[in-house]
Amino acid sequence: MTALIGPAYARFVLRLARIGVKGGDRLVEEYRRAVADEGRFIIAYRHPGDSDPHLVFHVLTNLLRGKAEATAADGRPGAWYPSGKEVQLWASPLVLWALRNAGIVPVKHGGVDRAVLDYLVRAVAERRRPMAIAPEGMATFRAYDVPELDPGTTRIALLASERLAASSSPMPIDIVPVAIEYSYSRTTKPARLATFLGRLERRLGLAPPPSGGESLQDFRGRILAIWERLVTGAEASYARWGIKPAAPDAGLRARTLALLDASIGRLEAYYGVTPAASLKARALNIRAESLKRVFYTRQELAGQSAHERAVARRGAAEAFFLDNVYQAAGLGIFLDPDCLEGKLSFDRLVEAAQNLHDFANRLEGLGMRKRSRYFRKDVLVVVGQPIRVERQEGEGRREASDRLQGELVAGFRALL
């Protein structure tokens, strides 16, 4: 099925005009080693956009087929994929069937499930088919730098390496960093970006400039004006709920983070959640808490009276609307106007324009599914140098995991 619909899905749903793979021979070699039981590997891919997991699946399932050795009887190189457990809660039976056959393993964000962790470690060590995972943990909407990475990838890899080392068939494990680069320069004319910005400007009560040729600096000025209007409007809205804005001279990013920090703090108090170390982890934690209150199992509902079900529905609706805080935070914490400083590129401007359109949607409560598909794009999947997973002499597990995390960050940066 994926071989049949994959190209059309990539073109018309993901809006990908061209897909290129650079360094694919490294993946081909890793698959060869895995099939020959000479090693195991994990594919760690960047997650700068919402289409990345679909793209990675398409590359590993369809584009590498016939080039890399098959790891199962289905004839595909393939991979299996840890994914947020929340998707299983609202998916239809057809979607659940598709996810299961695509190799999805449900995991809980914002917490450690020991049984799932043990399963992942065992699967990495024992399966020839690799795990493909996004160490960023969520879409970060910024391809130009490497944001905070979750430590789970290197920890799983290290535990799997130790498991293999103690087995009757010891073999090494590699982590293969993979970057995803989206490009709009070939597929999009400046006039199309101008039209897109004009619609957003009118929506926000700004007057678009007269039509005509615009330089990259002109586009930058328009985008920053939209950014300012969005943050100012959000501050006014949040103020009605007693959240004070940062100082006007604090900068757009600092002002945005101040709003999101305060609003997430409100929900942490409401749900009784202890704040995590980073704003990103805190946002994921409140998402998990809200979903607990939205979804009930059939067994839970069967044991409730009509009154109890009605109360549950009201509580679920309450949590569903509170989840809009996460929707805004899930994008807002990654927005940074500094991306428009220095040498400008058309790709960076289009990326910023789309992100601001999405941020406007989320502030209005429209959710993630309303992200713009206005621009077609080319994509290049770049495979980096494999990182050997092992503990050095005298190195504890925590030190080894931290070192590997640093090597993974460096591996991603080398691909920028």
For 345-400, the pLDDT digits (tens) are 999 999 999 999 999 999 999 877 788 889 999 999 999 999 999 999 999 999 99
Q: What is the reported pLDDT for 367?
A: 76
Residues 365 and 392 in one domain: no
Residues 148 and 258 in one domain: no
Burial 145-169 (b: 16+ CB within 10 A, else e): ebbbbbbbbbbbbbbbbbbbeeeee
199 domain residue, yes or no: no
Residues 216 and 96 in one domain: no
For position 407, which CATH number holds?
Answer: 3.40.1130.10
70 domain residue, yes or no: yes
Residues 368 and 386 in one domain: no
Contacts of 282 (CB under 8 A, 6+ apart): 264, 268, 275, 276
Residue range 132-153: mean pLDDT, rounded: 91
> Higher confidence at residue 108 or residue 59?
59
194 domain residue, yes or no: no
Q: What is the reported pLDDT for 92?
A: 75
Residue range 312-341: mean pLDDT, rounded: 92
Domain count, the chain: 2
Range of the domain at 97: 2-185+378-413
Residue range 146-150: mean pLDDT, rounded: 91
191 domain residue, yes or no: no
| Residue 203 and residue 320 in contact, taking contact as beta carbons nearer than 8 Å | no
325 class by beta-carbon count within 10 Å (0-12 exposed, 13-18 middle, 19+ buried)? buried
Under the banding of pLDDT at 50, 70 and 90, the label for residue 50 is confident
Residues 69 and 108 in one domain: yes
| 257 has pLDDT over 80 | yes
Q: What is the reported pLDDT for 111?
A: 59
Tell me the pLDDT of the chain averaged across its residues: 92
Share of the chain above pLDDT 90, in %: 73
Residues 154 and 50 in one domain: yes
Q: What is the reported pLDDT for 112?
A: 63
Residues 99 and 216 in one domain: no
Q: What is the reported pLDDT for 109?
A: 63
Q: What is the reported pLDDT for 231?
A: 97
| 15 has pLDDT over 60 | yes
Residue range 245-266: mean pLDDT, rounded: 94
Last residue in a domain, options 341, 356, 372: 372
Residues 36-39: contacts with CB under 8 Å, at least 24 apart: 37/128, 37/169, 37/171, 38/171, 39/171, 39/172, 39/173, 39/174
298 domain residue, yes or no: yes
Residue 346: how many other CB atoms lie within 10 Å: 16
- Please give the helix or strand (H or E) that residue 164 lies within, else none: helix 152-165
101 domain residue, yes or no: yes
Residues 339 and 400 in one domain: no
Residue range 328-332: mean pLDDT, rounded: 93
244 class by beta-carbon count within 10 Å (0-12 exposed, 13-18 middle, 19+ buried)? exposed
Q: What is the reported pLDDT for 212?
A: 67
Residues 54 and 168 in one domain: yes
Under the banding of pLDDT at 50, 70 and 90, the label for residue 265 is very high
Residues 181 and 238 in one domain: no
Threshold 0.75, pTM exceeds: yes
| 99 has pLDDT over 90 | no
202 domain residue, yes or no: no
Return the CA Rg of the chain. Answer: 23
CA distance 49 to 358: 12
Residues 279 and 131 in one domain: no
195 domain residue, yes or no: no
Residues 55 and 149 in one domain: yes
Under the banding of pLDDT at 50, 70 and 90, the label for residue 199 is very high
